[in-house]
Structure 1
Amino acid sequence: MHGEPRDVGRQSLVYLFLLVPMAALVAAAPFAWATGLLSWTDIALAVGFYVLTCHGITVGYHRLFTHGSYKPHRPVKIALAILGSMAVQGPVISWVADHRRHHAFADREGDPHSPWLFGTSAWALARGFWHAHMGWMFQPRNTTNAERFAPDLLKDPDLVRIDRLFWLWTVLTFALPALLGGLITMSWAGALTAFFWAGLVRVSALHHATWSTNSVCHMIGERPFKSRDRAANFWPLALLSGGESWHNSHHADPSCARHGVKRGQIDTSARLIWLMERAGWVSNVKWPNPERFAKLAVD
């Protein structure tokens, strides 16, 4: 009984931070058509904040904090944790715990968001797609034990502090585009449209790009490497996801810093890690091992 108020509060925040931006995304095209209120300033701010927060998730939350694909200097670690938090996909420790649990039980009982948990009929797959894409987040009991799956993060004072300040990063991810839009255009209208496009619409677009890795990339695509699950490479999402949609490659070698391991596979997250390595900001990067991937290749 003691946990119920906290569960209710948590679910209320899930509804607020997922559904409000989604409503803006649905309304975006009619809004632009009816009002004409979409400027180059809005587009530039939306793209800029999308790139920053997307790579906060991919380079920070995922490849660094979940899989330890490289070792960063402390300022890089803090910056990536904050940028990832500004994607409004949850505090860093719970996000990492969920994802580690996903890898531990990928596409089996215990996986928090597999699309294959309900069967293989048309209805079961439709239900599974919804569950994997976003439905799992609306289930109060589908929570992950951080002490079991993210004990290392719980021992990091920087990450604990950033995790507790998730509310602040959420406020900033919407306030900063509005502030910049207002200052650039010197108008309240510019602040409002920037809040809509570079705040609400951008957050929801990134939500769906990330969620598609859980849903689409476990159902559709190529599987050139052996893995214990049904993760697949789906190239149309490569740019929007920062390279995360090379999902079969990732599940074949989870700690590898580059997911697009073949020539021509777009992976902007790996490129950013490479640039940081060249600058001396990160070290011990786990780049692809050709011999390992040759052994993992499907005959």
Structure 2
Amino acid sequence: MDMTLADPQTGTGDRAPKPIMAGARRPAAHAAVYAFVLVPLLALAAAVPLAWGWGLTWTDVALTAAMYTMTCLGVTVGFHRYFTHGAFKAGRIMRITLAVAGTLAVQGPILHWVADHRRHHAFSDREGDPHSPWAYGTSPAALARGFWHAHLGWVLDPKLTNQERFAPDLLADRDMRLVHRLFGPLTMVTLAVPALVGGLVTWSWWGAVTAFFWAGLVRVALLHHVTWSVNSVCHIWGDRPFASRDRSANFWPLAILSMGESWHNLHHADPTSARHGVRRGEIDVSARLIWVFEKLGWVHSVRWPTPERLARLAASAPATGGTPPA
């Protein structure tokens, strides 16, 4: 793979564009990635038999829903729409709050997450995209391999996206560098808080254990796979009402669980838009939260989509929704 591919976000006029990759994780850090992926996944696999008659209480359900909603919105509103795409502006306290909330989702440190996602948009469904399902071709076997790569395989790749090229603004922010370094301690917090609350509410060690399992491990695993499904499912299946230069699509079954992220076609057609679900019936919880923040004066300069721009994007969308990349 060409490691000096040009991209629109960093400018094509540079005489010597920075490489898109920058080294690899240390062995201990890479082993931790496997742990962050596999341990919650094993918990998710065990969830159904454990829930059958024991091990799940209404306290666990409420804690899981609350932790899932908070951390998912930390990713969608914070890591994605704000830090990656600049869909709105915020002051220092809100920036730190969004960065911490996103980190509690255990999807990687903020600098890695943002750099990877900006690289994804720079090379979407082309060579250089870290997680395109079209990376190996269009045959059924190639798509099966590509689906695995887009959904989970790319996460296990030890190579790192170059933050100097794709996230220089966050590298220059002392607060964001600190949140990035605190990924390990914040991971312990996101697992320990449900256990603490569950133990205190039920006043029992067993309440702490079940809350740790459901609102900690299972919640992290579920959010992992919902987020990764936007990378995999939403670049293969769905409708494409707006013009984009890739295979991004809207997949409505994931709309609620992804807080609006699965309205993926409009997002790739207009990446800086604060709202992804723009047509009738397209529920976008993340956009609604940004709207609330704006009304409270906590964020400003929100980039809401305009009817004129949406009409232009819809008018130029291919009737077939585009073709797979070569």
Q: TM-score, normalised by structure 1?
A: 0.97
Note the residue ranges of structure 1 that are not aligned, 5 or more in a row.
Answer: none
State the partner residue of 1:287: 304
State the partner residue of 2:35: 16
Amino acid at match of 1:75: I
State the partner residue of 1:71: 89
Q: State the secondary structure of the residue aligned to 2:128.
A: coil
Distance 1:196 1:255 in 2: 36
Per-residue CA deviations over 1:233-292 (Å, capped at 9, x if unaligned) read 001000000100000010000000000011221100000000000000000000002111
Per-residue CA deviations over 1:96-125 (Å, capped at 9, x if unaligned) read 000000000000000000000100111100
Distance 2:313 2:78 in 1: 26
- By how many angstroms is 1:40 displaced? 0.2
Note the residue ranges of structure 2 that are not aligned, 5 or more in a row.
Answer: 1-22, 320-326
2:59 corresponds to 1:41: yes
State the partner residue of 1:157: 174
Q: State the secondary structure of the residue aligned to 2:161.
A: coil
More helix by share: 1
Runs of 4+ more than 2 Å apart: none
- By how many angstroms is 1:128 displaced? 0.3
Distance 1:133 1:222 in 2: 19
Task: Give runs of aligned pairs for residues 187-266 of structure 1, distance below 5 A.
Answer: 187-266=204-283
Amino acid at match of 2:29: R
1:174 pairs, out of 154, 173, 191, with: 191
Distance 1:112 1:37 in 2: 38
Task: Give runs of aligned pairs for residues 40-59 of structure 1, distance below 5 A.
Answer: 40-59=58-77
Per-residue CA deviations over 1:186-233 (Å, capped at 9, x if unaligned) read 000000000000000000000000000000000000000000100000
Per-residue CA deviations over 1:28-72 (Å, capped at 9, x if unaligned) read 001122x61100000000000000000000000000000000001
- By how many angstroms is 1:10 displaced? 2.2
Q: CA RMSD in A?
A: 1.0
Task: Give runs of aligned pairs for residues 70-149 of structure 1, distance below 5 A.
Answer: 70-141=88-159, 143-149=160-166
State the partner residue of 2:288: 271
Distance 1:146 1:10 in 2: 17
- By how many angstroms is 1:11 displaced? 1.5
Q: TM-score, normalised by structure 2?
A: 0.89
Distance 1:200 1:63 in 2: 25
- By how many angstroms is 1:137 displaced? 1.2
Q: State the secondary structure of the residue aligned to 1:215.
A: helix
